[in-house]
Amino acid sequence: MNGFTILRGMRHYVGKIRTMRNEIRTQRFMNALPADIRKDIGWPDMYAERRHHGN
């Protein structure tokens, strides 16, 4: 196992952590919106369906 392989693995791990943090931040932001705006954009129904299908 060389240094490049280790760095590639760490980059992959850091990317996953960054994605998870961004999703959590987005969920918090969307949940902070007024209920009527969330309903208009389909939050959280559209998001939950998207996550369920894996897109």
Identify residue 49 by its one-letter amino acid code: E
- The secondary structure of residue 54, as a DSSP letter, is T
Q: Rg of the Cα trace of the chain? A: 17
- The C-alpha atoms of residue 14 and residue 1 are separated, in whole angstroms, by 19
Residue 25 pLDDT > 80: yes
pTM for the structure as a whole: 0.65
Question: At residue 33, what are phi and psi to the nearest 5 degrees?
Answer: -70, 155
Q: Domain range holding 41?
A: 3-53
Give the number of domains in the chain.
Answer: 1
Residue 36 pLDDT > 90: yes
